Structure 1
Amino acid sequence: MNYLAHAYLSFEEPKILVGNFIGDFVRGSIEKSYEKEIVSGIKLHWAIDKFTDNHPVVKEAQEILKPEYGRYSTVITDMYFDYFLAKYWKNYHHQPLEDYVQNVYETIDSFRDIVPQKFLTTFAYMRYYNWLGGYGELDGIRRAMTGMAKKTRFKSNLDTAHIFLDEHHEFLRLHFGDFFEDLVSHSRSKLQELKST
């Protein structure tokens, strides 16, 4: 999943949120580098990614992308699912999305002294371009995908992914709905497990 989903799946716990956001930027013995709650957030991030990668509904959604986008299908579905979470945010959270994402940015910023430098570089772009709030519109997806297309080594066709989303909107929306309910349930259980060990 992408960053908005990882934020949502931190369940309003600041240190879990920090760990969940830096999960792709840390390796090795994280227990020596971070306190327990942040470690739990990192492990939750890894568990979310593993669950997502292996979920049959996600795989089914990726199958329709593969003929056009090949290896980039997994990245695209992650971003599509953040799009649906942002677009239908009122179905999932009581707080307006704009207020929610500002709180997330401020929380992450308050921990900037302990997060990896590589993450801070990404975070600067995330906040400046408002990745968390901007994916709920097709134009936000277009900008993000076009930016990624410029960085890929191989031909990715990412710059057309917003068109594909528009054309297959209902199919993908239904897949997101079916999957996300399972993901929330799995993430809650996993977080309780991590906090009890």
Structure 2
Amino acid sequence: MNYFAHILLSPLDIDYQLGNLLADPLKARPWPQCSAAHQAGLQLHLKIDRFTDAHPCVAQSKARLGDKGRLRGVVVDIAYDYLLHQHWAQFVTLDKSQFLQQFHQQALQQVSILPDSVQIMVARLVRYQVLASYQSIQGIQTALSRLDNRLSSRVLARESASQYAQQLEDVLPEMASDFCDFFSDLIIHLQAQVDLPHLIASR
């Protein structure tokens, strides 16, 4: 799952949300000013990733992009954030704009106590409204290009994220079915472990 989903799949606590969001760049390691909720968010991120990696609907979404390519999983992650925007009312009881606004405000208040390595990332996420940008096809294309800018020349010699843009757009209707089945299962899985009353396991 990508940024937007990891924030949503957390209790409505900014420490928990930031821990869930930042687990990848921080390699799930606590930092000196890390709260218990931050640490719980780091661990929740790992649980989400394990469930996601093993789910057949996610594998099916990757297969829709071909049978080869190491970046297919990351492309599906980005696509699933787009599909979460499109199917928000099916799974979430909160107003989306208010949810994003609250996260942005609280995240900015936390930036100074985060590790130096992720302070710029969080500030840019808020400043450029990255989470909201995933709700459009153009936003997906921008995210794929942004990913390419972080890849080494060695990886880009084999494939780029942007090369999947048109193919992804073509299969999004079918991928939406994968996403909805998967996301409902994920919510059920997490609600057995964490209090997430703002989420609905919808079929």
| Band of TM-score, shorter chain | 0.7 to 0.9
Q: Which residue in the other structure is 1:43 paired with? A: 43
Instruction: Read off the aligned partner of 1:168 and give its amino acid letter.
Output: V
What SS class does the counterpart of residue 41 from structure 1 fall into? Answer: helix
Report the CA distance between 1:43 and its aligned residue.
Answer: 0.5
Q: Does 1:181 align with 2:184?
A: yes
2: CA distance, partners of 1:33 / 1:54? 33
CA offsets 1:127-156 (integer angstroms, 9 cap, x no match)? 232121110110100111122223322233
2: CA distance, partners of 1:24 / 1:151? 14
Instruction: Read off the aligned partner of 2:130 and give its amino acid letter.
Output: W
Instruction: Read off the aligned partner of 1:37 and give its amino acid letter.
Output: A
What SS class does the counterpart of residue 151 from structure 2 fall into? Answer: coil
Q: Which residue in the other structure is 2:52 paired with? A: 52
Moved over 6 A (4+): none
Give the number of equivalent residue pairs.
191
Consecutive unaligned residues of structure 1, counting only runs of 5 or more, are 193-197
Report the CA distance between 1:10 and its aligned residue.
Answer: 0.8
Higher helix share: 1
So what's the TM-score if we normalise by structure 2?
Answer: 0.84
2: CA distance, partners of 1:113 / 1:54? 36
Report the CA distance between 1:15 and its aligned residue.
Answer: 2.3
2: CA distance, partners of 1:104 / 1:159? 29
8 Å Cα contact 1:97-1:133 kept in structure 2: no
8 Å Cα contact 2:7-2:20 kept in structure 1: yes
Q: Sequence identity, in percent?
A: 25
1: CA distance, partners of 2:29 / 2:166? 42
2: CA distance, partners of 1:12 / 1:121? 23
8 Å Cα contact 1:18-1:108 kept in structure 2: yes
